[in-house]
Each structure stands twice: as C-alpha cells, then as structure tokens.
C-alpha cells in the first residue's frame, strides 16, 4: 500500500469521497465496542460517550478492525474498482460477498467463516450461491434489517449516472435484502451521498433523497419517505441524552428504517462529525451499523479531515479505502 499523501493535495470532492468511506469505517469501529448495549448501560459506563476506537465488544474486535459492516462495504467498493465496461455490478459485488463469507478475506484465516453474519445476509448469500443470479436471491419480503444499507455507500460515491445509481443500489441490496424498505432505503441513501460529495448542503441533499423515495414509493406516504421525515424531526443530541424516542421505535436495534432515520438526523446535525458519531453510538443497541451508516453521510458532508487523525490511523482498511477512492475519482473523471 502506498503511503498516505497529504490531505491538502485533495480536491474538496476527493476529500468528501475519502471522508465518506473512512467515516463509515470509523463509525463501524467506534460502535463495535458497545454493540447491543442499551442506552442506559452505555450512559453508566461512558456518560460523555466513547471517543476512542478501542476494540473489544461482544465479538472481541481488535481496535480498528472491520466488522461485517465495513467488510461488506469493501465488497461493493472492490466491485467498482474492478469493474470493466459492461460488467454487472450486482454480480461483482455478490461474488465478493461470497469470498468474504468463505474466508477469502484479509485478516482472516483462509476458509474461515465471518465472525458475525446476519440471518438475512446468510440466507440471501445461500440463494445467490445456488442460483448465481443476483436477481434470484434475497431473504424475501419481511426481512427488513439494515444489512444492505450498511454496505451500499460505494454506489453513491462511484456511480455518476443517477438512473444506474438507483438500479445498482436496488440490485446490490436485493442479493440479501430484497424487501422494498431495504432496496428503496439504499437508493435514497445513495442519492443523498451523491449530492453531498458534490458539495450540496445537507438539507438539500436530504430533499433529493426524499424525492427519490417518493418516486420509488409512488407518493409521500411510503415507509422510506416517512423514515426520512422522522429523521428531520428527531435530534441526535437529545437521543444521546435520553435514548431513542417512541417514533424511532425506542430501540435503534437494526431495523432499516430506524437506521436510515438516524443517519438523516445525523447529517442534518450542525455539529462536527466526531461529536455527532459519538452521540450516535451513545443511543445504543446496533451501535456499529448505526454509526457506520451515519458516518458515511457525515464523511461525505465534512470530508476526510473531519475524522480525527487517531481514528483514521487505526482503521484496518483505511489506507486501502483512500487509495481506491483516489484512483476511482481520477479514472472515472468525477473530480
């Protein structure tokens, strides 16, 4: 891996692209320490929030080590890195997911299983392995966890065609999570990402995501559009102090619409990335995925330098993500 180049050499857009990937990775690693813990348990241990990436947690992660969130986002990222004209992005991503599942992955003993894999993800990958067709996989309607939202970010960063962005977001989600709440959430999230990396203010970027959700759900009363509206109403700082309110299900424990709403609330929070991500983790339960999804938006909004240097320096795939991001923003002429 080539040494880091100084962040001052990046264009604002490059910084936001790199920031998005590292924000996802950092949020995942920060939250992994406290995964599954309640708001009250976290408040008793860390009254002001956990501000360092220290590893541990229920799966004894090394500090800065990717969980399944970052690993699977990496699978999508590598698909965009390796794609040639005419390639099926969903198939490339799906094949990378199978490599991850079967142990062909950095930091793992060859052939070993992932430390953790969600039920819908395992079901969908089993069907994909059998069919070889990303459009004939998925866990089916009713499986509406956040396992595809956590990994969808690279499509928003590296697919400049907005119609293809929607198609690829939906199809890559559908490999494991084909419930429309998941597929539309991924498309709407990536619409926000695509606006943010172009320098669009957060409120306008969220409006673009809402407009796409309304289009895909045939109106403003669909569940994804409603989740984004909830994200506009709630405040991350208040939830960090008092826990998630009833309109967020009172849990934030893995439902895709809660994670999307929380990410919207995070990117609309006027504070810096570090303070917002610390507070997202303070809310509790699915702390790694909630912080990964929010971190992707915050990094796309604020850029690489908003991520504390101490966080960046400990990330397992930090240098790789940065190198790929810069290569893709150059080769695809998206600067």
CA distance 38 to 234: 19
CA distance 23 to 204: 20
Q: In this structure, are residues 271 and 172 in contact, taking their beta carbons and an 8 Å threshold?
A: no
> Does the annotation list 95 as a binding residue?
no
Q: In this structure, are residues 248 and 262 in contact, taking their beta carbons and an 8 Å threshold?
A: yes
> Does the annotation list 288 as a binding residue?
yes
Q: In this structure, are residues 287 and 281 in contact, taking their beta carbons and an 8 Å threshold?
A: yes
Look at the block and give the residue holding tokens 């993800």: 121
> Does the annotation list 28 as a binding residue?
no
Q: What angle do CA 243, 32, 121 make, to 5 degrees?
A: 100
Question: Please, what is the angle between helix 89-101 and helix 162-174, to 10°?
Answer: 30
Helix (H/G/I), strand (E/B), else coil: 335: coil
> Does the annotation list 67 as a binding residue?
yes
> Does the annotation list 204 as a binding residue?
no
CA distance 298 to 127: 34
Sequence ranges of the binding site: 67-69, 286, 288-289
Sequence ranges of the binding site for Mg(2+): 67-69, 286, 288-289
């Amino acid at each position: 891996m080539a040494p880091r180049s100084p962040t001052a050499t990046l264009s604002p857009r490059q910084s936001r692209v790199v920031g998005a990937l590292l924000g996802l990775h950092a949020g995942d690693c920060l939250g992994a320490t406290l995964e599954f813990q309640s708001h009250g348990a976290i408040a008793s241990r860390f009254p002001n929030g956990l501000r360092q990436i220290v590893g541990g947690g229920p799966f004894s992660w090394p500090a800065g080590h990717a969980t399944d969130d970052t690993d699977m986002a990496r699978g999508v990222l590598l698909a965009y890195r390796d794609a040639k004209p005419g390639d099926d992005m969903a198939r490339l991503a799906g094949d990378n997911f199978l490599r991850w599942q079967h142990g062909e992955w950095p930091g793992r003993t060859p052939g070993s299983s992932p430390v953790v894999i969600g039920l819908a993800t395992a079901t969908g990958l089993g069907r994909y392995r059998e069919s070889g067709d990303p459009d004939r996989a998925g866990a089916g309607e009713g499986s509406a966890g956040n396992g595809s939202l956590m990994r969808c970010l690279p499509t928003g960063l590296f697919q400049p065609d907005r119609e293809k962005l929607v198609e690829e977001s939906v199809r890559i989600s559908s490999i494991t999570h084909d419930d429309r709440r998941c597929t539309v959430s991924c498309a709407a999230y990536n619409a926000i990402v695509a606006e943010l990396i172009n320098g669009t203010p957060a409120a306008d970027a969220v409006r673009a995501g809402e407009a796409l959700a309304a289009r895909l759900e045939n109106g403003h009363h669909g569940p994804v559009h409603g989740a984004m509206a909830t994200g506009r109403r709630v405040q991350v700082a208040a939830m960090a102090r008092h826990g998630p309110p009833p309109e967020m299900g009172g849990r934030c424990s893995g439902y895709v619409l809660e994670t999307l709403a929380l990410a919207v609330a995070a990117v609309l929070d006027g504070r810096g990335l570090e303070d917002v991500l610390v507070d997202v983790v303070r809310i509790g339960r699915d702390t790694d995925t909630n912080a990964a999804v929010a971190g992707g938006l915050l990094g796309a909004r604020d850029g690489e330098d908003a991520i504390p240097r101490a966080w960046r320096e400990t990330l397992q795939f930090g240098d790789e993500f940065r190198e790929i991001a810069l290569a893709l923003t150059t080769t695809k002429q998206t600067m």
